[in-house]
Structure 1
Amino acid sequence: MRGSCGQGCRGRNVKRYIEAVAVQIGKDLRLEWRSKDAINAMLFLALLVVVLFSLAFDPTRAEARQIAGGVLCVAILFAATSALNQAWSRELRGGVLDAQRMSPSPPSALLLGKVVANFLVVSSVELVLAPLFTIFYNLDPKGNAWLLLAVLPLGTWALVGNGVFFAALSMRARSRELLLPLLLFPIFIPALLAMTSAAGAVFTGESDPVLWIRLLAGYDVIFTTAAVLLFGLVLNSEG
Structure 2
Amino acid sequence: MRFWHKVIAITWKDTLSGMRTKEIVFSVLVFTLLVIVIFNFAFGTSQEMMELVAPGILWVTFAFAGVLSLNRSFIPEKEQDCLEGLMACPVSREVIYVGKMLGSLLFMLIIEVIALLIFAFLFNLPVLSLQIITITVLTTIGFVAVGTLFSALAVNTKAREMVLPILFLP
TM-score (norm 2): 0.91
| Counterpart code for 2:8 | A
SS of alignment partner, residue 124 of structure 1: helix
> Where does structure 1 lack aligned partners over 5 or more consecutive residues?
1-14, 187-239
The answer for the alignment partner of 1:165 in structure 2 is 149
Give me the whole-angstrom Cα distance separating, in 2, the residues matched to 1:51 and 1:101. Answer: 41
Tell me by how many angstroms 1:59 deviates.
Answer: 4.8
| Residue 99 in structure 1 maps to residue 72 in structure 2 | no
| Counterpart code for 1:30 | L
Name which of 22, 26, 44 aligns with 1:36.
Answer: 22
Give me the whole-angstrom Cα distance separating, in 2, the residues matched to 1:140 and 1:22. Answer: 34
> Where does structure 2 lack aligned partners over 5 or more consecutive residues?
none
| Residue 79 in structure 1 maps to residue 65 in structure 2 | yes
Q: Greater CA deviation, 84-93 or 97-106?
A: 97-106
The answer for the alignment partner of 2:122 in structure 1 is 136
| Residue 156 in structure 1 maps to residue 140 in structure 2 | yes
| Aligned positions of 1:210-229 closer than 5 A | none
Structure 1, residues 163-218: CA drift from partner, whole Å, max 9, x if none?
A: 111111011212112111111123xxxxxxxxxxxxxxxxxxxxxxxxxxxxxxxx
Give me the whole-angstrom Cα distance separating, in 2, the residues matched to 1:170 and 1:129. Answer: 27
Structure 1, residues 95-132: CA drift from partner, whole Å, max 9, x if none?
A: 33323443332101101100101111111111111011
Name which of 67, 75, 90 aligns with 2:53.
Answer: 67
Tell me by how many angstroms 1:93 deviates.
Answer: 3.0
Count of residues in correspondence between the two structures:
170
Identify which of structures 1 and 2 has the higher relative contact order when contacts are C-alpha pairs closer than 8 Å and 6+ apart: 2
TM-score (norm 1): 0.66
Give me the whole-angstrom Cα distance separating, in 2, the residues matched to 1:96 and 1:18. Answer: 22
| Counterpart code for 1:117 | G
SS of alignment partner, residue 172 of structure 1: coil
RMSD: 1.7
Tell me by how many angstroms 1:90 deviates.
Answer: 2.1
Q: What fraction of aligned residue pairs are identical, expressed as a percent?
A: 26
| Counterpart code for 1:169 | L
Whether contact under 8 Å (1:39, 1:122) holds in the other structure is no
Query: Based on CA coordinates, which of the two structures has the bigger radius of gyration?
Result: 1
The answer for the alignment partner of 1:27 in structure 2 is 13
